[in-house]
Amino acid sequence: MNLRRKSKVHSEVSTHSLNDIMFFLMLFFLIASTMANPNVVKLMLPSAKSTQTVIKKPISISIKKDLSYWIDTKQILPSELESALLSKTTGLTDPAVVIRVDKDIPVQYLVDILDIGNKLKIKMVLATQPKA
């Protein structure tokens, strides 16, 4: 009598579905981490730490191609920029300024505006347009 089995049964755990689950978890965390850390090109809006009213419309500084400076809709001289910006932001809590600069303007003009904003402790946001 032959009591031994001819085919031995091997027990094993199938891990094929675990590979799929791990792939989807990795994909989920990669997508979630890119959303948590915004890209450098995207603009960060100023945040309010209190429940007070936030500025409805930020102050806008524009430099046109002909190097004319504008605060909102009023044209100013470059030498008057700091004093005009100081008078516009006086009394505002957490003032924000949107900088709009023509793409052909040298970067030094932008740096000068950012320097004034840093001196006056104003949050500055550079306006861009999306690529087509």
Three-class HEC string of the chain: CCCCCCCCCCCCCCCHHHHHHHHHHHHHHHHHHHHHCCCCCCCCCCCCCCCCCCCCCCEEEEECCCCCEEECCEEECHHHHHHHHHHHHCCCCCCEEEEEECCCCCHHHHHHHHHHHHHCCCEEEECCCCCC
pLDDT bin (cut points 50, 70, 90) of residue 90 is confident
Please name which of 58, 70, 79, 78 lies closest in space to residue 122, comparing C-alpha atoms. 58
Please name which of 76, 78, 70 lies closest in space to residue 109, comparing C-alpha atoms. 78
Tell me if 120 is assigned to some domain. yes
Strands 96-101 and 74-76, bridge-based pairing: unpaired
How much is the average pLDDT of 92-114?
A: 87
Tell me if 52 is assigned to some domain. no
Tell me if 9 is assigned to some domain. no
Whichever domain contains 107, its CATH number is: 3.30.420.270
Tell me if 37 is assigned to some domain. no
Query: What tens digit of pLDDT does each residue of 52-65 get?
Result: 444 457 888 888 88
Is residue 48 pLDDT above 50, yes or no? no
Tell me if 106 is assigned to some domain. yes
* Structural domain containing residue 79: 59-126
How many folded domains does the chain comprise? 1
Tell me if 112 is assigned to some domain. yes
| pTM exceeds cut of 0.85 | no
Tell me if 49 is assigned to some domain. no
How much is the average pLDDT of 18-28?
A: 90
Tell me if 10 is assigned to some domain. no
